[in-house]
A = this chain, B = another copy of it.
Amino acid sequence: MNRVKVPDIVVSRLPVYLRALQYMAANGSITTSSQELGDKVGISAPQIRKDLSQFGEFGKPGTGYHIPFLIEHLLQILKVEHVWDVVLVGMGELGHAILRYQGFGNRGFRIVACFDNDPAKIGELIADFKVDDAEKIVEKVRARGTKMAMLCVPASAAQQVTDKLVEAGVKGVLNYAPVSLTVPPDVRVQYIDPVIGLQRMAYYLQDK
């Protein structure tokens, strides 16, 4: 695909549109408008039209968007029309919950291996996965060619594990550890820290 440089803030909204469209499709809808989609995701209709116009002509004035057509194109744009392999590091309580989560496969991702450094956990079977030794991350991830990882280790271990994942060729890290990571320019990190979300909301709450 010939790509123009699209601002990251636009890219960040595409998965939200896709999720809402898939939800509408699952509920039997065939067409939608930027207005209806905007109401569902809390983004203005003109913003949605502008965002999507960066990638082509998807809607028609009067009739709006054909949902399956727009979903198909968003899957292509986001490169999730096929399923990406992901490795998971850190098999604590959260790692367990993620491993058992059923919501990845139908949205473009599947966990293919999981790692921990706790001898008590290595070799354990969790949801049909055998926990691998974290010492083997570089070797095993590189051998599989996996490009994405989810990180559920303690903050104190997160950078060290990230360095190993990067060495193994991983280009995208979804980081659940509450700490900022340093990575080379060709590697991306997305952060999931519930406290960051709570603190952002606390700012707007009335003083106690």
Contact = CB atoms under 8 A, between A and B. Distances in A.
A96 B40 CA distance: 29
Contacts of A80: 199, 202
Contacts of A122: none
Given A147-B205, A202-B172, A193 B19 contact: yes
The size bracket of the interface on A is 35 or more
Contacts of A134: none
Contact of A84 (B84, B193, B198): B198
22 contacts: A11-B203, A14-B199, A15-B195, A19-B195, A20-B179, A23-B155, A40-B180, A42-B180, A79-B202, A84-B202, A84-B205, A97-B97, A107-B178, A107-B195, A108-B195, A148-B198, A148-B201, A171-B206, A172-B205, A174-B201, A188-B204, A190-B201
